Amino acid sequence: MTCRRRGRGFSLLELLVAMAIMAMSLVMLYQVDAGVVRGVADQATQQRATVLAQSLLDARDAVPATGWQEDGQDAGFEWQVRSAALPLPPGLDEKTPRLHEVRIALRWQGRNGPQELTFSTLLPQALPEPAGRAP
């Protein structure tokens, strides 16, 4: 009596299961990769907004006595600058330059709807021109 041994290969069912597992794994890897790319794109947009806000601040060394109110659009961002003079601390005379709280708000349409980034800093009030000097 001879005994036949079965081949040691994979059956069709085993191959189908292995391919299904591999396909699901690849889909999950693709989703993770796409999420990372979206996150990097969102981070790059926020960085561009930060650079725009910094460039707006760099445009001025001081705030006029009347304040700084300005609106604009640039590179897909809507921006708004508003300032408010802070009160002088007690004991200082009116010749002391005031500080202004400057707020810069940037808005843009992001992947998940409207996005906003707000910055706040202090800038000194511009000193008045000395009397007798013509511009």
Residue 4 belongs to some domain of the structure: no
Residue 7 belongs to some domain of the structure: no
Q: What are the φ and ψ backbone dihedral angles of 120, each rounded to 5 degrees?
A: -140, 135
- Could you tell me if 114 and 106 are in contact, meaning their C-beta atoms sit under 8 angstroms apart? no
Helix (H) and strand (E) counts for the chain? Answer: 1, 4
pLDDT in tens, the chain (135 residues): 555 556 677 888 888 999 999 999 998 888 888 777 777 888 889 999 999 999 999 988 899 989 999 999 998 899 999 999 998 888 877 777 889 999 999 999 988 889 999 999 999 998 877 765 555
- Its domain, for residue 24, covers 12-124
Our count of domains for the chain comes to 1
Residue 54 belongs to some domain of the structure: yes
Say how far apart CA 117 and CA 133 lie, in whole Å. 41
